[in-house]
Amino acid sequence: MGSVLIEMLPLILGAIFAPAWVIIVFLLLGSPQGIAKAGAFVGGMTFTRLLQGLIFGAIMLASASNDKSDGGPSPVVSTLLLVVGILLLTTGVRKALKEEDLDAPPPKWMESLGELPPLKAFGFGALLVGIAPKLWVFTLSALAIIGSSDLTLTTAAIAFLLYIVLAQIVLFAAILISIIAPQAASQILQRANDLLAQHSRIITIAVTVIFGFYFMWDGIKGLLAAT
């Protein structure tokens, strides 16, 4: 399973460095009942990802297993990585041209986040993951990588759970810090949120361009190897 996690590492890093989700969790933590709201929001994200894994996991496991060549990359995985690269590069260009990222919540939503009760925060997190094209492709790519491996069903399920946990590790860490040391966490999260809000555009452009080129190259290389 270690080789599968290494193969998924760029997908995990791409999900970790998406600043919008971190900003949302930080904003929720800074509101009344912040820990409950942030926990519900991340729970909603996790629920949708688990649902995606449940629905598409069997399909990806079968498809990638049938399509892969002798030790070579699966065309399913390569195609998905190519799509990830195109989507990320498109996002980077849009940001560079100061166009709005379709995956980012509208400003009105950001302003009203603190007023969401925990149940609605759960639904909000589930909805955002469900409508974000990049996150869909990240998750499907992870499933395809797992499906193209020789893992047993149980080990494959564990690998996907690890993908979810690692992709959201910053969000889990922020909530955990707020539980353990709420006073210190409040100041740290406020400073971190200010920095993220101030530099989110630069971070998004850098991450999407770097990972976009990486995934495009990996996808094209895999497709060429399969021909």
State the Cα–Cα distance between residues 176 and 161, nearest whole angstrom. 19
On the CB side of 106, CA atoms within 13 Å amount to 3
pLDDT digits (tens, 9 = 90+) for 83-123: 878 887 887 888 777 755 555 554 565 667 778 899 999 99
Give the pair of three-digit tokens for residue 104.
């980012």
DSSP state of 114: G
pLDDT digits (tens, 9 = 90+) for 34-49: 899 999 999 999 999 9
- pLDDT for 87 equals 82
State the Cα–Cα distance between residues 85 and 90, nearest whole angstrom. 8
pLDDT digits (tens, 9 = 90+) for 135-161: 887 888 888 888 777 888 889 899 999
Whole-prediction pTM value? 0.78
Strands (E), 38-174: none
Contact between 205 and 15 under an 8 Å Cβ cutoff? The reply is no
Contact between 52 and 163 under an 8 Å Cβ cutoff? The reply is no
State the Cα–Cα distance between residues 74 and 149, nearest whole angstrom. 9
State the Cα–Cα distance between residues 40 and 83, nearest whole angstrom. 30
Give the pair of three-digit tokens for residue 101.
């990222």
* Host H or E run for residue 33: none
CA distances (Å), origin 1, targets 7, 152, 157, 159, 164: 10, 10, 11, 7, 15
Give the pair of three-digit tokens for residue 194.
């200010």
User: Which residue reads 């999900």 in tokens?
Assistant: 15
State the Cα–Cα distance between residues 27 and 205, nearest whole angstrom. 22
In whole numbers, what is the pLDDT of the chain averaged over residues? 81
